[in-house]
Every structure is written in C-alpha cells, then in structure tokens.
Amino acid sequence: MTVLRKGVRVLRNLILGIFGFVVLYLVAAFVLSLIPVHTTDRDPANDITVYIKTNGVHTDLVMPLRSELIDWSQKIKISNTKANDTLARYIAMGWGDKGFYLNGPT
C-alpha cells in the first residue's frame, strides 16, 4: 500500500510541476510583453536595407557598399573581395574559413 501511495505522490508532483512550469511560462510571457519598446526613437532616415543571401552552404548579409551612414569601401579592401569590382554597389559579408567559403560547393 505504501508503494502505491508513493507512486501516486510522485505522479501528482510531476503533474503539478509540469502544470506549474506552464503557468509560470505563460505569466512570464504576458508580463514581459508589457515592457515598452521605444520605437519612436528610431529615425527612418537612418534605415539601410540589408538582404540575406544563401547558397545552401553559407549565409551572407548583403548591404550597400556606400551609404549615408557608412562607407564599407573605406574599411574593406576591394582587392580582397572575390569579384574585385570597384564599381560594385553592394557587398556581401559572411564568416568562416576563407578557403572553404571561396571554394565551397554551390
């Protein structure tokens, strides 16, 4: 009889624990969603469109080479890029091993 009571107690505690976790998660999600985000501080004139490109192996961020906020051509040598094109309007940035990136499968 004591083994049965112990089993029922363990099962009850397990169910209460799972239920308590779900309730705690829902309360935290509700309370944290009330924290205001200051979207009015954003200046739309400073927005830059950034694209995401993938070849199935790598993912790159593609952004304008020159904009009002930053000129990447001042920070990156164009001769170090794969295209080596000084007339390029966009630059793609990724990370990882250079050899695998340049010679990886497409």
Predicted pLDDT at 39:
67
Q: What DSSP designation does 44 have? A: G
Q: What DSSP designation does 34 have? A: T
Q: What DSSP designation does 21 have? A: H
Predicted pLDDT at 48:
86
Predicted pLDDT at 77:
86
pLDDT in tens, 13-48: 999 999 999 999 999 999 999 998 776 777 777 788
Pick the closest to residue 90 from 47, 43, 48 (CA basis): 48
- Reading phi first (left if > 0) and then psi (alpha if -120 to 50, else beta), residue 65 is in alpha
Predicted pLDDT at 106:
64
Most confident segment among 15-29, 49-63, 88-102: 15-29
